[in-house]
Chain A
Amino acid sequence: MKRLILIALLLSGPAWAGEARPLADDPAAEARLKHLAVELRCLVCQNQTLADSNAPLAEDLRREVREMIAKDMSDKEIIDFLVARYGDFVLYRPPLKATTTLLWVGPFVLLMIGATALIMTLRRRAHQVVDVPVTDEEHRRVEQLLAEGGKRS
């Protein structure tokens, strides 16, 4: 009898239902998939990562990556495989090669140019400018102009 009540309670509806199952069978593999997929592009989408996209092709590609993970391929092997098939377009982190050198060094070259220009200009300026004879006068002019404008309208 006791056992029957227990079964009845267990079956008595949603309140007794348990913890939801994760969508993926193997959470560890899923974590690896996620880690890879955030740096991969969904090839048919406007601009979405493979991790975010719900497009059918992205679904297929994720399944393929899962299979490769199941086959115990390393991250590098998986990425090499995808690049061989789809080209560099699939990578959100462009590989460093001849055509992308400028892309990768550009920002730091820009910074160097900026910093050099800054220092050189300031050095040259220090020789040119003696002191600040203008500022006070200029400020007076500001006030004067502003006051004038107030009267005029």
Chain B
Amino acid sequence: MIPEIGHFALILALCVAVVQGILPIYGAAVGNSALMAVAKPAARGQFLLVLTAFCCLGYAFAEKDFSVLYVAATSNSQLPLHYRLAAIWGAHEGSLLLWTFILSLWMFAVTLFSAHLPDATRSRILGVMGLVSVGFLLFMLTVSNPFERLIPAALDGRDLNPLLQDPGMVIHPPMLYMGYVGFSVAFAFAIAALLGGNLDAAWARWSRPWTTVAWCFLTVGIAMGSGWAYYELGWGGWWFWDPVENASFMPWLAGTALVHSLAVTDKRGGFKVWTVLLAIMAFSLSLLGTFLVRSGVLTSVHAFATDPKRGLFILAFLAVVIGGSLALYAWRAPRVGLGGSFAMVSREGMLLANNVLLVAAMGSVLLGTLYPLFLDALDLGKISVGPPYFDSVFVPLMVPAIFLMGIGPLAQWKKASLPDLAKRLQWAFGVSVVTALALPVVMRNWTPLLSLGLLLAIWIVTTAVVTLRERLTHVNGNTLVERLASVPKSYWGMLVAHCGIAVFIVGVTMVKGFETEKDVRMNVGETATIGDYTFRFDGAQDVVGPNYTAARGTFSVSRDGRETTVLYPEKRRYTVQNQVMTEAAIDPGLLRDLYVSLGEPLNEGAWSVRLYHKPFVDWIWGGCFIMALGGVLAISDRRYRIAWRRQEPAVPASTRTARRKVA
């Protein structure tokens, strides 16, 4: 009964979405406010309906209803409750439901925070989001229904893939999808502006916080996925340039370009045409990512060709969304004004150059991800495009981007002078070069890449210091604290996010340059030393988990004769799918991680063991979280709060001008 309610709720949601996608947009075109007024209640109604469907599926999982095909395929009676609930997005059908649910959640958020938007704009935005929702609901209801019944019911489920039975699974996909789908808001804003022909600075001001929030979610989502791979896969890597990872990284690159381009459109009215294109691009890449991951085309082009229903649907949907929006763009964009003039050497110019680099990097990732698929589809041979390729094309594109990242915030709008910039940045440059060359020598492991990485990281930090110092001379306040406090939050956000990149680069560089690993055969009581740490193997015991049995090793770690920690890596065998998983044990630290994973049991209680000493590895994810924190700081800026405040109290004109100056 409950699954049928869910199914029915999805059908109703589709009906509402169709109405929401047509009436308000038409109403906005003909100026009929009654039709436009449909948008808000429709979006909220759709949210409630999809929420109902989502809860119904959750209930089916919680109650172990194995008469639902999807539940039987992705869970098992022994699976703990939190993983049964996370199994909602454990495979294809449920992921789509999560996608749609999050889309309706964003729609709901738009209805809440759009009181200040003109009616026509709001109706168009919600209408466009409704149309996107139509596509996904239709997809679910026609070719991948999560509520499909299995009659007779299975006695027990086939279990969730053991790889996914991890706390990361509970939190990573929702975060990632919040980011993916969040770009739909920026997309809808852009399409609405194209439809209405009001592509002005107000449009940029409105889309900016939405885009930044989506970008923050995506950043955190990708970081969590990477961290999950690091500890779950058991061989200590954190990024594999896997097509699935690339699928999330491409929207991130486009989104990063979009965030910067929006800043220019907001402040200077420039780049409008380009900003709209980036908004379309970011969301199209999110859709493409969904297509790549969900159609099975990645595993094998031929598997896709034998069961093409789903893939063809997404492909057609992709063609309609991307083709339609680009056609609209081509039709409307030429009428958009140009905005203010600026010289090539100016903050606008540098942001635009950075955008070109980011988009070229995105294009390379796209090329590397799709190339083997095309070659295979055209029968030109099977190739693998892996980390060596991506490293060698990505790094040369990112180095100039990061170099510009240091200069951009210091350059004046409209026109900057290179000699002047060089003068202001000379000590930052000097400090960066000297430190980057000296530090690896001090640490006795000089390589060109190590120095390059450190150079970029230190460059970002030193230029941020210069930027902040110059900014402090322009703000009011007598004491340093007062002046620090009067620097706008959005400015702090920019500095913090940039420093997050520096932290990230330090992590990547130090791990690459200084990590050590050892594959050893350890008898009980034997020791192995890596870095300054000595690991003693105290044997392995059998343990029984809720749905697995495991061998758990005990390793006492000591440094200079003092015990630092005890680590318990496991080798688990999940009973239902009879699959073996390596659960690494990690002792995280600010300056290093210690990482132990069990290999195979050898004779007489001995095990093959892999040990890693990974300096600064946590900085990789720390950097990503700092970037996201920068985003959060930026949107907490008061100028957005002013925009969002429902009831503006009567403010004297003078105060308002003063406030505008601060903003």
Contact = CB atoms under 8 A, between A and B. Distances in A.
Does B associate with A?
yes
Interface stretch (B11-19, B212-220, B384-392, B625-633): B384-392
Interface stretch (B57-65, B146-154, B309-317, B360-368): B360-368
B115 interface: yes
B242 A30 contact: no
Contacts of B237: 52
A115 B599 CA distance: 50
A89 interface: yes
Interface in A44-77: 46-47, 49, 51-52, 54
Contacts of A22: 518-521
A39 B386 contact: yes
A142 B599 CA distance: 62
B488 interface: no
A28 to B, nearest CB: 14
Interface residues of A, number: 69
A134 B389 contact: no
Nearest to B642: A146
Nearest to B242: A47
Interface stretch (B31-39, B133-141, B335-343, B456-464): B335-343
A146 B360 contact: no
A147 B383 contact: no
B116 A153 contact: yes
Of the listed residues A24, A87, A142, the one surrounded by the most CB atoms of chain B closer than 10 A to its CB is A142
A1 interface: no
Interface string B315-341: 000000000000000000000011111
B648 interface: yes
B437 to A, nearest CB: 26
A152 B375 CA distance: 57
B424 interface: no
Given A94-B389, A146-B202, A89 B383 contact: yes
Interface string B622-655: 0000000000000000000011011110000000
Interface string B595-623: 00001000000001100000000000000
Contact of A19 (B299, B352, B527): B527
Q: Main SS of the interface on chain A?
A: helix
A99 B381 contact: yes
B259 interface: no
Contacts of A99: 375, 380-381, 383
B367 A18 contact: no
A92 B237 CA distance: 16
B384 A142 contact: no
Nearest to B273: A121
Contacts of A147: 648, 656
A119 B360 contact: no
B520 A23 contact: yes
A75 to B, nearest CB: 14
B415 to A, nearest CB: 11
B469 interface: no
Interface in A103-153: 103-104, 106-108, 110-111, 114-115, 117-119, 122, 125-126, 128-132, 134-135, 138-139, 141-143, 145-153
How many B residues touch the partner, as a band? 35 or more
B360 A103 contact: no
A117 B387 CA distance: 30
B268 A135 contact: yes
B465 interface: no
B646 A153 contact: yes
A90 interface: yes
Contacts of B299: 46
Given A89-B383, A122-B349, A19 B529 contact: yes
Contact of A135 (B115, B339, B352, B529): B339
B388 A39 contact: yes
Given A24-B519, A125-B338, A103 B386 contact: no
A107 B522 contact: no
Contacts of B371: 100, 102-103
A138 B201 contact: yes
A89 B388 contact: no
A147 to B, nearest CB: 6
B201 A115 contact: no
Given A135-B269, A146-B643, A103 B367 contact: yes
A20 interface: yes
Contact of A20 (B116, B338, B383, B537): B537
Given A111-B357, A141-B202, A153-B646, A94 B384 contact: yes
Interface string B225-260: 000000001010100101100000000000000000
B555 to A, nearest CB: 11
A14 to B, nearest CB: 2
Nearest to A90: B384
B367 A13 contact: no
A23 to B, nearest CB: 4
Given A19-B529, A39-B388, A87 B353 contact: no
18 contacts: A20-B520, A20-B523, A20-B609, A23-B519, A47-B386, A90-B384, A93-B388, A93-B389, A94-B385, A111-B357, A118-B353, A129-B339, A131-B340, A135-B339, A135-B340, A138-B201, A141-B202, A153-B116
Q: Which 7 pairs from chain A and chain B are nearest by CB?
A: A14-B525, A149-B116, A92-B386, A153-B115, A150-B648, A107-B364, A17-B525
Given A21-B521, A150-B116, 8 more contacts: A14-B524, A41-B384, A107-B397, A114-B359, A145-B118, A150-B646, A150-B648, A153-B646
